[in-house]
Structure 1
Amino acid sequence: MPAIVGAVKVISVGSSGVFNIGDVFTMNPVSTSKTFAGAGSFNTGDYLKIRNDHSITKTYDQDVNDSNIKSVI
């Protein structure tokens, strides 16, 4: 089914981002990353009140593979 798209404004697309308008059968990632951050790190919005009395970010990861990408063409 065709997509009808109105006005589109793109501010930016990151180096590993995807921008699509219209019909898509499949979209596959070409890269992955792992991010470690402490409590309250990714909070966004207005008038946030965050209290972190004790925060520990554990970065030890015992498994070898986390985000495997399988190419499907």
Structure 2
Amino acid sequence: MPSIVGPVKINTVGGSGVVNFGDSFNVTPKSTTKTFAGSGSFNTGDFHQVNNAISGTNTVDPDLADENIAANN
């Protein structure tokens, strides 16, 4: 099915990033990682204001594997 895409702003695309417009059957990650950050850390946009009084990040992770990747090359 064709797609109509309006204005798009892409600042950066990493080495393993995916940008897709239109039809796609399967888009899968080739690697996984876990990142811990406090509140207001990953805000995106042109103009934003963040006010955090007290922030705590829970880094306890009892899982052995969160997302298993099977290699399909």
Aligning the two structures, in what range does the TM-score lie when normalised by the shorter sequence?
0.5 to 0.7
| Equivalent position of 1:39 in the other structure | 39
Unpaired runs of 5+ in structure 2?
A: none
- Bigger Cα Rg: 1
Code of the residue aligned with 2:13 in structure 1: it is: V
The separation in 2 between residues aligned to 1:28 and 1:63, in whole angstroms, is 21
Match of 1:67 in 2: 67
Are 1:17 and 2:17 an aligned pair?
yes
| CA distance 1:64–1:21, shift in 2 (3 Å) | same
Deviation at 1:62, TM superposition (A): 1.0
For residues 12 and 41 of structure 2, what CA distance do their matches in structure 1 show? 22
Matches of 1:31 and 1:48, distance apart in 2: 32
Distance 1:56 1:9 in 2: 32
Q: Once superposed, what is the RMSD of the aligned Cα atoms? A: 3.1
Count residues in correspondence: 71
CA–CA separation in structure 2 for the residues paired with 1:42 and 1:33: 15
